[in-house]
């Protein structure tokens, strides 16, 4: 389980209006759903109301018992230190780190902690049509999808290189840099070379005016005083608030569950990576909070370039190929299945090459019955953020709400062989030129696979040209089930991606 540092990391929002975001409504005005005494649903606001289709008292009691059990199950904080190889490159969303020096370890720590971490929450306002006030036990794929979208928004509104200055306050980042395993050692036991950045700094705190943690913290305070950093801080806070756990947050669980109803899903159901991709597309299309951004969802493992062009700038369809000033930035979501019942090892190198690309914003998937957000790898281990940690809800409508619980201080890894084949890959392109570069770079990464069939493809034209109904990105069909060549298809026994259970 992931753990959260007890120190509070708070910012002053400033009131700067960010490009790409709609002006934020007045925070000090209490919203209609705000409770009396604590942040959750108002006591007695729904329990005394019984209408057609509303849960009865037995359902309410079951929901409360299940909620209590899940809060305990996912509330434990088990701390363990994750080991990283000292010599192998560590890839994090297109950035490479070689942890052979303390400065490089610190650079990785800052980059990892700066990613937005969305986890289970408890005691949020009751989800419409249910008695649920938590997503513990069922909402992990929605949380993984939130993290994918959040990474896209950070790149869209800030930059791919942005880091959170106050990430330094989360000093309990549990990593250990080790030598690679030696073939001559009986057990291949790795040997530690130097402690984590936290340990190495603790002994020199306050001793040096130019180096160590003291100098680093002074540098961070200096950065926080600049206008650019204050604006970036306000944008960071604003992005986090878009994922708040209340009905008005455009990308919160309440809105995502609402968008899932058209796909036959409801609160308490399990969601697959393909359905979540379409839910995210609908949520972005519906909101006016984020400007100049569209989401495209590939269909049948195919990205139709003309459909992307039509989505980003309809004026270019059938017209000039010159770059347009009216082009919307785009997040591409590609649902795929990397094998049959388990991951096809032939696709591992391809997944690595995709994660090396700066245009990649992550992969939502996981291991069987356990959704995760993959953000990188080292050697044969995937690096991920885990939503399976239950935290108290944060009232993001308040000025200077604490940001610490939206950032993870515990990197985790797992072997590629444990990766479930069902997943959705995310990419971001800011401009038309970036989209063209993305197509070339991703196509080159896809061609690296030893497998005969690529994970997905880019083709010219639009979906209708290939006998498909509707526009690309508007269908919720599950992606093709890719099997190794020479093996017969077992379509009669095959479950769709969205029937796959993630607990």
For the chain, the distance separating the N- and C-terminal CA atoms, rounded to the nearest angstrom, is 14
Does residue 386 carry a catalytic annotation?
yes
Residue 59: name the closest of 130, 135, 136, 133 by CA. Answer: 130
Q: Looking at 156, 236, 388, 407, which residue is catalytic?
A: 388
Residue spans of alpha helices (H) in 299-431: 305-312, 348-355
Dihedral angle, C-alpha 235, 236, 240, 241, nearest 10 °: -30
Residue 455: name the closest of 225, 300, 269 by CA. Answer: 300
Residue pair 435/359 in contact by the 8 Å Cβ criterion: no
Residue pair 293/20 in contact by the 8 Å Cβ criterion: yes
Does residue 407 carry a catalytic annotation?
no
CA distances from 34 to 28, 125, 220, 251 (A): 12, 8, 35, 18
Q: Are strands 121-122 and 391-392 parallel, antiparallel or unpaired?
A: parallel
User: What is the Cα–Cα distance from 61 to 65, expressed in whole angstroms?
Assistant: 6
Q: Are strands 175-178 and 82-85 parallel, antiparallel or unpaired?
A: parallel
Q: What does the angle CA 294 – CA 295 – CA 296 come to, to the nearest 5 degrees?
A: 120
Residue spans of alpha helices (H) in 1-101: 57-73
HSE (side-chain half, CA atoms, 13 Å) at 346: 18
Dihedral angle, C-alpha 320, 324, 328, 331, nearest 10 °: 70
Does residue 312 carry a catalytic annotation?
no
Residue spans of alpha helices (H) in 295-363: 305-312, 348-355
Q: Looking at 24, 41, 135, 140, which residue is catalytic?
A: 140
Q: Looking at 386, 395, 420, 498, which residue is catalytic?
A: 386
User: Which residues participate in catalysis according to the annotation?
Assistant: 140, 386, 388
């Amino acid at each position: 389980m992931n753990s959260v540092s007890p120190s509070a990391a708070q910012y002053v929002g400033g009131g700067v209006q960010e490009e790409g975001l709609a002006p934020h409504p007045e925070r000090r005005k209490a919203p209609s759903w705000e409770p009396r005494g604590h942040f959750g649903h108002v006591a007695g606001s729904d329990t005394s109301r019984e209408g057609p289709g509303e849960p009865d008292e037995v359902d309410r009691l079951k929901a409360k018992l299940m909620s209590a059990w899940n809060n305990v199950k996912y509330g434990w904080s088990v701390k363990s230190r994750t080991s990283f190889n000292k010599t192998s490159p560590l890839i994090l969303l297109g950035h490479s780190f070689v942890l052979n020096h303390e400065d490089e370890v610190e650079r990785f720590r800052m980059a990892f902690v700066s990613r937005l971490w969305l986890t289970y929450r408890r005691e949020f306002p009751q989800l419409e049509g249910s008695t649920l006030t938590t997503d513990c036990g069922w909402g992990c794929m929605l949380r993984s999808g939130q993290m994918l979208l959040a990474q896209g928004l950070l790149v869209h509104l800030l930059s791919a290189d942005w880091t959170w200055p106050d990430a330094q306050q989360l000093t309990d980042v549990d990593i250990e840099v080790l030598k690679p395993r030696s073939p001559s050692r009986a057990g291949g036991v790795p040997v530690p070379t130097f402690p984590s950045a936290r340990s190495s700094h603790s002994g020199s705190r306050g001793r040096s005016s130019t180096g160590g943690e003291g100098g680093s913290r002074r540098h961070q305070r200096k950065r926080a005083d600049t206008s650019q950093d204050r604006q970036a801080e306000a944008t960071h806070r604003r992005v986090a608030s878009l994922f708040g756990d209340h009905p008005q947050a455009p990308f919160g669980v309440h809105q995502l569950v609402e968008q899932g109803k058209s796909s036959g899903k409801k609160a308490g159901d399990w969601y697959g990576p393909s359905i979540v991709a379409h839910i995210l597309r609908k949520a972005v299309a519906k909101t006016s909070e984020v400007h100049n951004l569209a989401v495209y969802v590939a269909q049948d493992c195919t990205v139709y370039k003309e459909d992307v062009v039509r989505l980003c700038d309809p004026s270019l369809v059938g017209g000039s190929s010159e770059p347009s000033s009216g082009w919307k930035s785009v997040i591409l979501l590609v649902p795929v299945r990397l094998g049959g019942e388990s991951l096809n090892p032939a696709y591992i190198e391809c997944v690595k090459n995709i994660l090396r690309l700066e245009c990649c914003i992550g992969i939502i998937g996981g291991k069987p019955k356990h959704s995760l957000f993959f953000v990188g790898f080292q050697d044969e281990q995937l690096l991920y953020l885990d939503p399976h940690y239950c935290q108290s809800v944060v009232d993001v409508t308040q000025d200077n709400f604490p940001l610490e619980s939206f950032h993870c201080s515990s990197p985790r890894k797992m072997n590629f062989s444990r990766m479930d084949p069902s997943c959705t890959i995310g990419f971001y392109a800011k401009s038309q030129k970036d989209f063209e570069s993305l197509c070339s770079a991703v196509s080159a990464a896809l061609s690296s696979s030893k497998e005969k069939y690529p994970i997905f493809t880019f083709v010219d034209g639009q979906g209708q040209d290939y006998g498909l109904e509707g526009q690309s990105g508007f269908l919720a069909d599950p992606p093709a089930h890719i099997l190794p060549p020479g093996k017969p298809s077992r379509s009669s026994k095959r479950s769709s991606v969205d029937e796959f259970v993630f607990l």
